[in-house]
């Protein structure tokens, strides 16, 4: 958490360069706030994957502010936009832990977004904090998914419960929860197979897993994390909607922010579905997981060279 900001700034350098230079160029090129100006601002947001609806609502809010506060200088719009984006992202939402262990974290998402890697990184972090962590290898479908989780288990120093490939994922979860109780584990993290939100039979399987968790551990799962690849476009909205319906998603993990994708779709998700971003992935090493902070996220997007 402490080291989050400098690293994130570094990570977002590319993003910031393009975003900042675009916004900066925009405010320099215009000496008044007219339709052209708004149109270009809209384009900047669209290119960050914020999406048509959330973008137009952000712009409308800025327009209203400009009118109300009688703002004439394009430079001031930068600040307004930043405020509106922070407001949209809302309060930071830390991970929830059970009052009495074990805490159960269910991790879901479409194929290849970074679920297993995020779990490895999260387990590593929780282990650093001295908690006992158990991983449930409930992706019994994808080739070598269990072996992949095994490698991460070793890196993190966690326990694992696994079955044969192709076996029933809910049964793995059941066994993992039993083992967790017996061994006095603090946190159980469940890795699930990637699935497209449109596949109803696979979404039903997730519901089943969740039912097993709730039945075995009252109050669990304490977190259902939807992993979203930062490069995803507007489809992430549908992912949030349908995974939300099936499993009551409590938070988003935004991965691959070390690329050039801006992850702007989380603004749209927050606006339309109200789900907060909790963690961000910034690489493939164990330490590349950060707690999400909305203000820092927006600040990093807007920061000028040398600004802290």
Ligand X SMILES: Nc1nc2c(ncn2[C@@H]2O[C@H](COP(=O)(O)OP(=O)(O)OP(=O)(O)O)[C@@H](O)[C@H]2O)c(=O)[nH]1
Binding residues for another protein, rule: CB under 8 A, are 14, 43, 46-49, 51-52, 110-114, 120, 141-145, 147-148, 150-152, 194, 196-199, 229, 231-236, 238, 256, 258-262, 265, 284
Nearest residue to 20 via CA among 224, 283, 306, 269: 306
Q: Is 286 in the site for ligand X (CB under 6 A)?
A: no
Task: Show contacts with ligand X in window 2-31 (CB under 6 A).
Answer: none
Alpha-carbon distance 169 to 301, whole Å?
Answer: 40
Q: Which two tokens stand for residue 119?
A: 């779990």
Q: Is 139 in the site for ligand X (CB under 6 A)?
A: yes
Query: Is 192 in contact with 107 (CB distance < 8 Å)?
Result: yes
According to the annotation, is 266 in a ligand binding site? Answer: no
| Residue 24 near which of another protein, Mg ion, ligand X, none (CB within 5-8 Å, type-dependent) | none
End-to-end CA separation in angstroms for the chain:
16
Task: Show contacts with ligand X in window 194-253 (CB under 6 A).
Answer: 194, 196, 227
CB of 138 to ligand X, least distance (A): 11
Nearer Cβ to another protein (14/211): 14
> Applying CB under 6 A, which part among 30-38, 109-117, 154-162, 237-245 lies near ligand X?
109-117
Nearer Cβ to another protein (76/150): 150
3-state DSSP of 111-164:
CCCCHHHHHHHHHHHHHHCCCCEEEEEECCCCCCHHHHHHHHHHHHCCEEECCC
Nearer Cβ to another protein (74/114): 114
Query: CA distances (Å), 158 to each of 123, 133, 209, in order?
Result: 7, 5, 21
> Applying CB under 6 A, which part among 45-53, 112-120, 210-218, 295-303 lies near ligand X?
112-120
∠ CA 81-87-93, nearest 5°, is 140
| Residue 6 near which of another protein, Mg ion, ligand X, none (CB within 5-8 Å, type-dependent) | none
Query: Is 229 in contact with 197 (CB distance < 8 Å)?
Result: no
CA 236 to chain centre: 11
Alpha-carbon distance 174 to 179, whole Å?
Answer: 9
Q: Is 142 in the site for ligand X (CB under 6 A)?
A: yes
Residues annotated as binding site? Answer: 109-116, 191-195, 255-258
Give the residues lining the site for ligand X (CB under 6 A).
Answer: 109, 111-117, 139, 142, 145, 193-194, 196, 227, 255-256, 258, 281-284, 288
């Amino acid at each position: 958490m402490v080291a989050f900001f400098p690293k994130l700034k570094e990570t977002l350098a590319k993003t910031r360069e393009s975003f900042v230079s675009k916004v900066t160029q925009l405010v320099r090129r215009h000496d008044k706030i007219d339709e052209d100006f708004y149109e270009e601002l809209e384009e900047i947001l669209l290119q960050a994957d914020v999406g048509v609806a959330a973008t137009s609502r952000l712009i409308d809010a800025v327009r209203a502010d400009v009118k109300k506060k009688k703002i004439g200088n394009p430079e001031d719009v930068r600040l307004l936009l930043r405020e509106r984006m922070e407001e949209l992202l809302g309060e930071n939402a830390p991970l929830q832990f059970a009052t009495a262990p074990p805490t159960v974290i269910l991790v879901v998402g479409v194929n290849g977004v970074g679920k297993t890697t995020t779990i490895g990184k999260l387990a590593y972090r929780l282990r650093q904090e001295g908690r006992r962590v158990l991983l449930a290898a409930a992706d019994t479908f994808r080739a070598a998914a269990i072996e992949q989780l095994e490698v991460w288990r070793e890196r993190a120093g966690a326990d694992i419960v696994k079955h044969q490939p192709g076996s029933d994922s809910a049964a793995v979860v059941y066994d993992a929860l039993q083992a967790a109780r017996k061994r006095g584990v603090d946190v159980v993290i469940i890795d699930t197979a990637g699935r497209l939100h449109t596949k109803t039979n696979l979404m039903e399987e997730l519901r089943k897993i969740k039912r097993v968790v709730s039945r075995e551990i009252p109050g669990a799962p304490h977190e259902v994390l939807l992993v979203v690849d930062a490069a995803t476009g507007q489809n992430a909205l549908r992912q949030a909607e349908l995974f939300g319906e099936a499993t009551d998603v409590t938070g988003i993990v935004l991965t691959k922010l070390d690329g050039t994708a801006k992850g702007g779709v989380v603004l749209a998700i927050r606006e339309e579905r109200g789900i907060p971003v909790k963690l961000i992935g910034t690489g493939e090493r164990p330490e590349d997981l950060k707690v999400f902070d909305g203000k820092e996220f927006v600040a990093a997007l807007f920061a000028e060279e040398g600004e802290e």
